[in-house]
Amino acid sequence: MHLSTEHQQVADMTRRFANEVIRPQAERLDHEEAFAGDIYREMGEIGLFGIAVPEQYGGAGLDCLAYSLVMEELSRGYASVADQCGLVELLTTLLTQHGTEDQKQRWIAPLVRARQRGAYCITEAGAGSDVSGIKTTAVRQGDGWLLNGTKLWIHNAPVADVALVLARTDPAAGKRGMSIFIVDCHSAGVARGPKEHKLGQRSSQVGELHFKDVLLPAEALLGTEGRGFHMMMSVLEKGRIGIAALAVGIVQAGLEACVEQVKIRQQFGQAIAEFQAIQFMLADMAKDAEAARLLVRSAAMKIDAGLDATAAASMAKCYASDAAVAQSANAIQIFGGSGYIRGYEVERLYRDAKITQIYEGTNQIQRVIIARKLLKA
């Protein structure tokens, strides 16, 4: 798929940043489970957050295709860094599409410039794939709202300054009784659980956010009361494209590492690149990377054209994340015993890949979405 000059420049610039700034720090960030604050501040300065946010609010003013290119290239450097980019994109997309002018002016620029850290709060103990199962509530209190509940496995929860929180405002109305609130995480009644220690993407900070009688002003409501579920779901297509692109970056990083390794590693007196079995593994890895990449770009272009991208985004996310897990496992196989040892990039890629089959909707849910679209045709 041919890229425009502008899109190619975006991809090239992001790749340089990933090679020069992210990759040299990836092993340390993973080992220390460290928040990549310095990298994020630099990304904010050069415009790698809020890719599709209008320039008037501090974003790059580009499109979903550009966003997918940035996510892939950042992930080549380290998937955790790409994950932060994806989070900011979701938050700022919601604010751009549904916020008042005051809300946009107050919250978007600090997020895209990495001056504040955001969190996207849907998941609860009984509400993962089934978002309709959330129990967090917001009830009217004078002119404002009183928020109570707990969200778990929330990206940036241990460090967030602001959170977009999905809560029930009318328990009797089901999905039509949910609303989104902009919550200052330094408010009275907001508490954080401990940072979770994860298998992969260990630099991403994940934990719980607890809301106990948090008093919110009227202007904390984002968009229309009762439309929160629809609003959250409306950005998930873009979110799934972002995760799919992140997964492509993992496959591509593994492929590049393996191409170099097979020329160096020797068995039976020759480089393992000479063995057809190895060549077939590389070919399959390249094939999956390219197929996933094209699915991602096709879905992104549908969004940019204003078309229904529901099935396309699910296909891209499902295929790319499955490929990331399978091909990062093959990358370890190519490296042999050394690939199983901490400190080798392919070992980290394997751990980083697994979560892509789970977050932004499990791959089982993606298959349900695809099948429903087919059966409605």
Phi, psi dihedral angles at 189 (to 5 degrees):
95, -10
Angle CA(171)–CA(236)–CA(73) in degrees, nearest 5? 150
Neighbours of 33 (CB within 10 A): 16
**Residue linked to tokens 């974003």:** 59
Residue 368, classified by CB atoms within 10 Å of its CB into exposed (0-12), middle (13-18) or buried (19+), is middle
> Are 159 and 175 contacting, i.e. CB atoms less than 8 angstroms apart?
no
DSSP state of 133: G
Run of H or E residues at 137: strand 137-141
Beta bridge partners of 209: 151, 192
CA pair distance 181, 35, nearest whole angstrom: 26
Q: Which two tokens stand for residue 35?
A: 């928040």
Question: 128 in the Ramachandran plot: left (φ > 0), alpha (ψ -120 to 50) or beta?
Answer: alpha
Beta bridge partners of 150: 210
Q: Which two tokens stand for residue 177?
A: 């009784």
> Are 119 and 162 contacting, i.e. CB atoms less than 8 angstroms apart?
yes
Active-site residues, by number, are: 360
CA pair distance 176, 89, nearest whole angstrom: 25
